[in-house]
Structure 1
């Protein structure tokens, strides 16, 4: 399945991108001179690019928009003017351009003990070249993978870009993968080298090492090695390998690279089968970074440096585009959160770094919302009234998109909004993102009321990241915005209401799935349009609204087509106690629903616990329930809570467009969905087939007895 994700941005998204003029078959000599002529860090590298302008040349022999071959080349979706005509760039060309323009600016930041350390763009590029030479020394072959298995770090970025410079594929592997899942990815990309974070991740690879015939070396980038093995290196040992290697071999490889060749593989989560290797070209990454940055007006470092916090899985294209490629184009600096970011330390990192942009999956925003509500509930009566008044003013002002802020808005901003932003570490943040799963309207409106507008974007791994963007002057609540410049959207086979499959066109569209021609043909039609598998429609102003996924569409026994997400979101909004909701009803006579309750999460394992969250406890008290654990509610044990849930579902059913869309039966499960439990993917996306299998007994119980006549 395709990985779709949504972003949300608050306020303006300041400017990236250089106007490079009309498309040429190759990069002109004077442009190359301008990019690399004054690079002080590596004379050899600069001379290599200057003497061989073939780097960046697109093969005239590529006639197809897609390929599934690791050494394949594709026809780029070029235009004669505008963004479509931007000259194609390799990753190396984009990087060397950044070094020339922003060489002395900080590129990366990480924490050692209590101190933040930084690395400039000059040193960043130099270190990536050293890593690339190290990979070549270890036997990395062209078009083979370098798998990276670990939490976000300087080493992750350097391994990723080093692999690309050396002519291999950068391949992120989710840290939550089992040994067998790691084996599949490593085998599929024919990985020569695997880079792992620590002993825990190393053990996964050692378990399957004898089943990886292409594997030549393993590198551990954190902690000391607990055991010595042949071809197992520490990060320091690995970097030493490349430090004294001559530049000639690497320069020749870089000079031979073309923008329409693959450089990165993004593996889908494998929700409905084996993961697919999404092949992304140099041009996919560099062009998307250019166009997206320009569209959102991202500022260059010599004006105001953008600051990013990296903590979401870099195996996902959304995190890569925001953490690696967009900052590189604008000279931004990326700081790395601690590995326990989602276990509590992220809040401290945000307050220390004060990012100018921030991305969070919906669960991160929901956790912030829950925490603020919990703190607010304990405030004095006066403070609660002031906060409530300010939020009302903030919501209405932003909904009306007023250009002139009224006096009461300015007062609310002074009394409440600035303090909230500072407490969150978002006082400098001009844009906030969310991705990987849908976010509820309730959460959007909550942050909007705090003067943190969340502007939604939409895209997928197969589109190198974003496809549509919401902007301050082009915004609709719950819309994904408008298509980015140089791209097109088509609604395929729309129904009477305008709902149909969303299709993409543009230079951000992927090359194909590695070694999977049949799957590639399912995704890309004969004309080169990418079929997303998502259902959506445009309004009269061309704003895109997502209404569901084709594969998730429920078709009842009566033949009615029902997208589950809007109903699930409506239940979560009507019943704040609910953490996750999953609608059931495909080929069934009526709809039913599985529900989970908001509970605490184990900080070490990420597994759901039995204790209710503070917000859930407060909600129970307000209902008159004394429950403190999920086990005291599930299975109908707490009649007060069950009555409240039924009341919320009744309100949702009242708004149903037909009787077939009413939820007739439901139950509360004993534990919440989670990544360790298998119900959620690495990006918190609901794995419906897994849930159907895990809870088949509960589901069958819904349909054992016929509905009572009403």
Structure 2
């Protein structure tokens, strides 16, 4: 009996009895032995993790999360049964919204799965998806899993070389691309991808003719040759403890790592983390969300795609140029009930409002300042149970703040989430002033996204919230303040890194706890605060441990002209800092330009400078601006807990950070190692 037949045999038996024990010895012997080479010394580790795509793992089921494991297909069938005739996906074609119901969505996924099988997708091989969010992205992702493959997102910003690494590492049989621009990347590397059998382009006409290159319409028609029974045999062979998704890390400290996620990782997290965030099932309220963040990142994928299926959410797709300024247009049109952004997205919204305010009249400025201060105070100290809500905040909200939220597209938004990177206190406070509470979530690709959640019922300022019910945390190597490395246990925890046994062993301890590499502490009520990352922790020549984020945030809070601040000083005698200034961006490339933003120009005027560009300030070492920045640094230093945590030197870089410049990752999180390499001469000049 070959591997495929073994899977079918067990799948049929499990479907008939409905009582298959995923963690039983029979399961190990029936599934794990054909897939894995298990030695007696490695048996314990192999049951909790694996590094091969056709491996299976022991699920972390215990009394805290006893829910029956299900596959992605099981979850979708339940969705169709409950929400089949509700709209699931909406996208604009020629200026008009086109809608797909959950029943249609499911059938399209089956049709794409058949097409993948026709093209020769092998069990446990990958389909790479390269492009901006769209119904075709979702259908490809789900169809891949139905067909027994592994969905692998490839960042749309990747170079051809980066695309090659991912596609080759995951053994991609098929790659689905958005348009000719993305196709060109694959054409450059096609001959170096031995497993690649076909490419599908889902938007635009084909500008290249090849027998193994298909339009979306041609691709979907290929599925007509595959029977329902053939597809169902593959679907029924799938188990919740097998891999169905690969998420590649950003690769800031070496090659990207392929994070293997199981069906259970996806289905359990989609159900339980979303409910911890107060997302509602459609029978209570159909949630409405806008999809725009990169789906290659687990935060967007679990929030947009998998939670959408689990609870019957209505997903609208933003335009591909969403992050260039059109996102707000989509939000205003859609009026979502929930919205998620990475910190940089929230910061950009904040900067836009500040710029608009700076250009308004004195009366408007004063009214907004008053309304925001009232709202901030109320949100920081909300009324206790039984207390009446203050009158002034209600007046401020009705006449002023609600109009700004409407302008942003948040009139009906009940939950605003921030994740994927730390968010500054300044940003949190600003949105509190608009009567918008940002609910932080915390996790990793390795925890299928959110392991810790905030919500309207679980919130504390500058806290990530509490562990999702069923998830556990512990802290190791704690210091005197209670800060220690955060470790995870639960059904969110991933299967292992693809083909990287050493890296996998590094992150799991002997008891199977996942070590995050992040530092944090928990209060008496269970709220988590993340205070730094071990690899980013600065250890001075004097041996003092300094988490950089808190100091960097303080600098940006005191200096509104500063866009990015990067603390330097590992193994050095003192701390120094790289600064970038807020500048406008090219809307086509998102490359930072030389021209200062209105907020930055206002800062210059207030400190006595007439500068309007970055080059003026840096090239001429503008005395007024440099003096003001030093004064801001001095204020930060005055609150330092020790001399070692004072910033002794700093410099302004000639250009702001960007994805295209290599300093930011796809979710706009700073890449510290890349920055240190790129600006090594500036760093050396400090010392």
TM-score, scaled to structure 2: 0.93
Give yes or no for contact 1:134–1:239 (8 Å, CA) kept in 2.
yes
Match of 1:338 in 2: 319
Cα drift, residue 53 of structure 1:
5.5
Cα drift, residue 356 of structure 1:
0.7
Q: What are the Cα deviations for residues 392-438 of structure 1, in whole angstroms up to 9, with x where unaligned? A: 11111110122432111211121112111111100111111222222
Which whole-Å CA distance do the structure 2 matches of 1:610 and 1:56 have between them? 63
Match of 1:536 in 2: 520
Match of 1:261 in 2: 242
- Which of 588, 596, 621 pairs up with 2:605? 621
Which whole-Å CA distance do the structure 1 matches of 2:223 and 2:398 have between them? 54
SS in 1 for 2:584: strand
Match of 1:607 in 2: 591
Give yes or no for contact 2:23–2:59 (8 Å, CA) kept in 1.
no
Unmatched segments (≥5 aa) in structure 1: 1-46, 704-710
Cα drift, residue 595 of structure 1:
0.3
Which whole-Å CA distance do the structure 1 matches of 2:307 and 2:674 have between them? 35
* Higher mean C-alpha deviation, range 119-128 or range 398-407: 398-407
TM superposition outliers: structure 1 runs of 4+ over 3 Å: 47-57
1:351-430 aligned at under 5 Å gives the runs 351-403=332-384, 404-430=388-414
Which whole-Å CA distance do the structure 1 matches of 2:432 and 2:681 have between them? 41
* Higher mean C-alpha deviation, range 142-151 or range 450-459: 450-459
Match of 1:58 in 2: 22
Cα drift, residue 689 of structure 1:
1.2
SS in 2 for 1:528: coil
Match of 2:415 in 1: 431
Cα drift, residue 271 of structure 1:
0.4
Match of 1:548 in 2: 532
Match of 2:448 in 1: 464
- Residue 157 (1) aligns with residue 138 (2): yes
Aligned pairs, number = 655
Give yes or no for contact 2:419–2:440 (8 Å, CA) kept in 1.
no
Which whole-Å CA distance do the structure 2 matches of 1:351 and 1:638 have between them? 41
Match of 1:87 in 2: 68
SS in 1 for 2:486: strand
- Residue 504 (1) aligns with residue 485 (2): no
Which whole-Å CA distance do the structure 2 matches of 1:575 and 1:384 have between them? 20
SS in 2 for 1:532: strand
SS in 2 for 1:349: helix
Cα drift, residue 561 of structure 1:
1.1
Unmatched segments (≥5 aa) in structure 2: 1-10, 29-43
Distance verdict in 2 for CA 1:68–1:51, change over 3 Å: closer
Cα drift, residue 385 of structure 1:
2.2
Match of 1:651 in 2: 635
Give yes or no for contact 1:279–1:511 (8 Å, CA) kept in 2.
yes
Match of 1:637 in 2: 621
Match of 1:241 in 2: 222
Which whole-Å CA distance do the structure 1 matches of 2:155 and 2:16 have between them? 37
SS in 2 for 1:606: coil
Which whole-Å CA distance do the structure 1 matches of 2:177 and 2:308 have between them? 24
Distance verdict in 2 for CA 1:56–1:342, change over 3 Å: farther
Cα drift, residue 635 of structure 1:
4.8
SS in 2 for 1:379: coil
Which whole-Å CA distance do the structure 2 matches of 1:259 and 1:55 have between them? 13
Cα drift, residue 51 of structure 1:
6.5
Cα root mean square deviation, aligned: 1.6
Match of 2:40 in 1: none
Which whole-Å CA distance do the structure 1 matches of 2:189 and 2:510 have between them? 39
TM-score, scaled to structure 1: 0.90
Give yes or no for contact 2:278–2:456 (8 Å, CA) kept in 1.
no
Give yes or no for contact 2:441–2:464 (8 Å, CA) kept in 1.
yes
- Which of 57, 76, 85 pairs up with 1:74? 57
Which whole-Å CA distance do the structure 2 matches of 1:681 and 1:532 have between them? 19
Q: What are the Cα deviations for residues 34-89 of structure 1, in whole angstroms up to 9, with x where unaligned? A: xxxxxxxxxxxxx9999745698626244611111111111111113x5x100001
Which whole-Å CA distance do the structure 2 matches of 1:309 and 1:233 have between them? 29
